[in-house]
Structure 1
Amino acid sequence: MTDQPINGPDAPGGCPVAHGGADDLTRLYGPQAALDPHGIYGRLRKEHGAVAPVLLEGDIPAWLVLGYREGRRVLDNPRQFSRDSRIWRDWKEGRVEAASPLIPMLGWRPDCVSQDGEPHRRLRRAVTDNLEAVAGRGIRRHVTHFANKQIDAFAGEGSADLVGDYAEYLPMLVLTRLFGLPAAEGRSLAVSCAQVIKGGEGALAHNDRIMQILGELAERKRAEPGPDFTTGLLKHHAGLDEGEILSHLRLVLITAHTTTSNLLARVLQLVLTDSSRLAGLVSGQLSVSSVVEEVMWNTPPLAVLPGRFATADLELGNAHIKEGDLLVVGLSAGNLDPQIRPDSGVSVHGNQSHLAFSSGPHECPGQNIGQAIIEIAVDVLVHRLPGLRLSVPADELTSTASTWEARLDRLPVEFAA
């Protein structure tokens, strides 16, 4: 570690972190952040404006982008805000350890998320081509099958936790089919993906486990190709090498599962805390997609998006950003920015300009698959379980946040067995 300031100490608005000075900044991790992330976002917005200095795990400094317009600028301008973490100054100068729990989320890999320009376009095309291919091969059938199988396990009980018994694992079960993995791997992979996003000391070990399983999968699919995403990457005309194939399998598996499972839980929460929405879904007068849209604005599945790296000194909001600084984009904070939503209670129906899927060249390529999983999962559930209702008051539902997301803890329900 160096004792030199990470940003110039005299730069007004510069990130005021030097070795030993971390206590001056807000941590986006730990017990307080886990309980009230929105309270932290609100306080930071009052103190710093649209861009605030914060600390990530290990007291690593970053800029949290809270403003909607500022978030758009960061996401839409890869020449100024690169995805290539090899220019991250704290990493280059040895302040971030290789064993840091931030590495699974921020470290460079040979995938399309870590690169810009032509390398990004080449790799992203391989991903989007194969996502489109598997989406056209009966994804709705797979979701319906696994949704019914999950519900069968608790339908006779008259009660369930729709997080632990349904939303937490269903997307991964669908992904095992799309990847060509055994369904038996689904639950353990879901746990490992969640731990990678959550961070903490187990994140790297879970990431290594995922990579081992995916390495074995790729080897198997070379010998026994099939109509699946893995085989599609292996055979794509872009000619991905071994590292690129494994990195993209990892990327799609982790992001698709964690974001879809979190979004599914939030959609179910919104439906079950509003009887008119539930009645509308059952009667067909309300579409699941309109509920998803509302959740995307108010509680997006990723609250904070990692990460972008400044390619030069520049100004963003009131902050003086230095070349090599890390920026993380507050998707949840940006969607609720009072500059664009002075009244967050106003309907957002038909407005898809939220930040939940990111924006710009790195916008989520699998959003249609996630939407299909959620729409079918909700539809099957509300029609399979008569009398479905929350079994606790809505204000007793709790969430736990990590740096990157806030997940619903439980969603206990009752229904006619």
Structure 2
Amino acid sequence: MTPESFSPTGTHDHPPGTPPPGCPAHGLGPGGLHRLHEAEDLDGLYEQLREQHGPVAPVLLHDDVPMWVVLGHTENLHMVRTPSQYCRDSRIWNPLLEGRVKPDHPLMPHIAWQPICSHAEGDEHLRLRGAVTGAMSTIDHRGMRRHINRSTQRLVNRFCEEGSAELVGQFAEHLPMAVMCEILGMADEYGDRIVEAARDMLKGTETAIASNAYIMDALMRLTAQRRARPEEDLATHLINHPARLTDDEIGQHLRVVLIAAYEATANLLANVLRVVLTDPRFRAQLSGGQMTVPEAVEQSLWDEPPFSTVFAYFAKQDTELGGRRISRGDGLLFAPAPGNVDPRVRPDLSANMMGNRSHLAFGGGPHECPGADIGRAIAEVGVDALLMRLPDVELDCSEEELYWRQSIAARHLVELPVRFAPKPPQDVKQRPGRATVPPQRAAWQVSTAPPAPAPAAEPPAFPRQAPPAPEPVRQDGAWRRFLRWWRGY
């Protein structure tokens, strides 16, 4: 995968003979084009490219491979929704056909064609995609939300007594994997090892190939087990789909579902929690009821989509996009991050996008993310349950100390340290029950006559204090009981 920077300041060592950071020539290649992988501030570069070139701009990737980056909201949607002009099949990509993209190119894991629905077209795409969406349509979303809540409680139980936590490594990177392992039918595989393997594979480290092999081994074992013993899970429904996928196709598509959902949702969770903890207005709206958690999630999908760009689309014919002439075989980056801040659709970036789901975070067209509802549910239920358990949670560092690991594809928050008052663990298996009915009052008597005066009594030697009135027992209403059942408490 793409090399990623761990530098909080964005500074990098540069090879001898190249312009140092800050020099006007830094990050420029042949023809004066910008190298995306050398940019220290990608968001700033996208705006600079928008000014210079409009909604579609020419850029360079590693080894000075040319590519178009689509910056406009409308242009991105047109590209992903027009399969007659653009596809995901990199076998028609000109630089690849010309031998300019070597097998060890850093972006080959993103771009190399594979026989999976993400890259297929036509009838083959319908067969593979139909199997995936058909299997996902069997997911019990109400049961899934209860499982998300229980998984959240388990994770919070790990650190709630300590009064402090690091919410990226201890929460945001674990909850999506716990939920996805349950959905796929491999709950026993969930643990620190599979989370570490997924993170390692996505970082593109020296051990990424071994980590990918570890995950594929788990998925192929799951496939063999469900062939022999079907159960009510996504793997079984994928196997039983009329498309009749082979074991290899099943394993590869389980990997697509698992890793795509994991990566996107881990980023989304971290982004929402960071904004809740660092933006007082945002948290006040959330706490005051002016904004719900689902609306907060959608706002985050506008401002910080989990994937900055998606590699890649390819022109099937000579065409035009955003005023630029696109040649057959050209590559184009689908870019949700700059597309979501296109001034033609968001002239005021501070404006609330409440209720507006027209962002690009989940793509669109034939290759639109089929698990968008799963990602939303994990983020919504997870954030809501965490804030209910830890209502006093606060950031345990200054906002300026937060830093990101950035690549062309995505921007990952590295750590999110928090503090809170220590809380006792919660029984995650406890099911909501029917509360006992308080004793009823005696029969009511209504009278308009004034009560007869009580006979005078001798005052006591010491004044007596009236016993305190018992506190009224508040019975949960039907709506509150329903919410408790829905959240799984």
TM range (shorter): 0.7 to 0.9
User: Counterpart of 2:107 in structure 1: which amino acid?
Assistant: L
1:92 is aligned to 97
User: Counterpart of 1:211 in structure 2: which amino acid?
Assistant: M
Candidates 383, 387, 390, aligned match of 2:392 = 387
* Distance in 2 (alpha carbons) for counterparts of 1:88 and 1:215: 31
Q: Secondary structure at the match of 2:138?
A: helix
Candidates 155, 158, 171, aligned match of 1:166 = 171
Query: Does structure 2 retain, via aligned residues, the 8 Å contact 1:143–1:377?
Result: yes
Query: Does structure 1 retain, via aligned residues, the 8 Å contact 2:402–2:415?
Result: yes
Residue 39 of structure 2 is aligned to residue 25 of structure 1: no
1:13 is aligned to none
Query: Does structure 2 retain, via aligned residues, the 8 Å contact 1:304–1:403?
Result: yes
TM-score by length of 2: 0.76
For the aligned residue pairs, the C-alpha RMSD in angstroms reads 2.3
Mark the runs of 5 or more structure 1 residues left unpaired by the alignment.
1-19
Query: Does structure 2 retain, via aligned residues, the 8 Å contact 1:104–1:196?
Result: no
1:263 is aligned to 268
1:298 is aligned to 303
Q: Secondary structure at the match of 1:144?
A: helix
* Distance in 1 (alpha carbons) for counterparts of 2:326 and 2:82: 15
Query: Does structure 2 retain, via aligned residues, the 8 Å contact 1:104–1:207?
Result: no
Once the two structures are overlaid, the 10-residue window that deviates more, 314-323 or 357-366, is 314-323
Task: Figure out how many residues of one structure are paired with residues of the other and give that number.
Answer: 395
Percent identity between matched residues is 44
* Distance in 2 (alpha carbons) for counterparts of 1:384 and 1:248: 36
Note the C-alpha offset of 1:59. Answer: 3.7
* Distance in 2 (alpha carbons) for counterparts of 1:137 and 1:345: 34
Note the C-alpha offset of 1:46. Answer: 2.2
Q: Deviations over 1:214-252 (max 9, x none)?
A: 222212222232211111111111111233212211111
Mark the runs of 5 or more structure 2 residues left unpaired by the alignment.
1-27, 423-489
* Distance in 2 (alpha carbons) for counterparts of 1:304 and 1:360: 16
Over 3 Å counting, the alpha-carbon distance change for 1:199 and 1:65 in structure 2 is farther
Residue 65 of structure 2 is aligned to residue 54 of structure 1: no
* Distance in 2 (alpha carbons) for counterparts of 1:89 and 1:356: 28
* Distance in 1 (alpha carbons) for counterparts of 2:66 and 2:215: 28
* Distance in 1 (alpha carbons) for counterparts of 2:44 and 2:140: 39
Q: Higher Cα Rg: structure 1 or 2? A: 2
Candidates 169, 190, 200, aligned match of 2:195 = 190
Query: Does structure 2 retain, via aligned residues, the 8 Å contact 1:259–1:301?
Result: yes
Q: Secondary structure at the match of 1:215?
A: helix
Query: Does structure 1 retain, via aligned residues, the 8 Å contact 2:168–2:414?
Result: yes
Over 3 Å counting, the alpha-carbon distance change for 1:242 and 1:24 in structure 2 is farther
1:71 is aligned to 76
Q: Which runs of 4+ in 1 moved over 6 A?
A: none
1:15 is aligned to none
Q: Secondary structure at the match of 2:57?
A: strand
Residue 281 of structure 2 is aligned to residue 273 of structure 1: no
TM-score by length of 1: 0.88
* Distance in 2 (alpha carbons) for counterparts of 1:42 and 1:382: 35
* Distance in 1 (alpha carbons) for counterparts of 2:98 and 2:231: 45
Residue 350 of structure 2 is aligned to residue 345 of structure 1: yes
2:428 is aligned to none
1:226 is aligned to 231
Higher helix share: 1
**1:138-177 paired onto structure 2 within 5 Å:** 138-177=143-182
User: Counterpart of 2:399 in structure 1: which amino acid?
Assistant: A
Note the C-alpha offset of 1:175. Answer: 0.9
Q: Secondary structure at the match of 1:340?
A: coil
**1:209-220 paired onto structure 2 within 5 Å:** 209-220=214-225
Q: Secondary structure at the match of 2:67?
A: strand
Q: Secondary structure at the match of 2:139?
A: helix
Candidates 316, 319, 336, aligned match of 1:314 = 319
**1:282-297 paired onto structure 2 within 5 Å:** 286-297=291-302
Q: Deviations over 1:271-327 (max 9, x none)?
A: 112345435545655311100111111110011012101101222224332211111
Q: Secondary structure at the match of 1:327?
A: strand
* Distance in 2 (alpha carbons) for counterparts of 1:198 and 1:68: 28
Note the C-alpha offset of 1:184. Answer: 4.4
* Distance in 2 (alpha carbons) for counterparts of 1:197 and 1:237: 32
Query: Does structure 1 retain, via aligned residues, the 8 Å contact 2:56–2:324?
Result: yes
Query: Does structure 1 retain, via aligned residues, the 8 Å contact 2:29–2:60?
Result: no
* Distance in 2 (alpha carbons) for counterparts of 1:135 and 1:362: 23
Q: Deviations over 1:73-123 (max 9, x none)?
A: 111111111112221222233332334332322221222111122322222
Over 3 Å counting, the alpha-carbon distance change for 1:319 and 1:280 in structure 2 is closer
Over 3 Å counting, the alpha-carbon distance change for 1:325 and 1:362 in structure 2 is same
Over 3 Å counting, the alpha-carbon distance change for 1:197 and 1:89 in structure 2 is farther
Q: Secondary structure at the match of 1:96?
A: coil
Over 3 Å counting, the alpha-carbon distance change for 1:370 and 1:198 in structure 2 is same
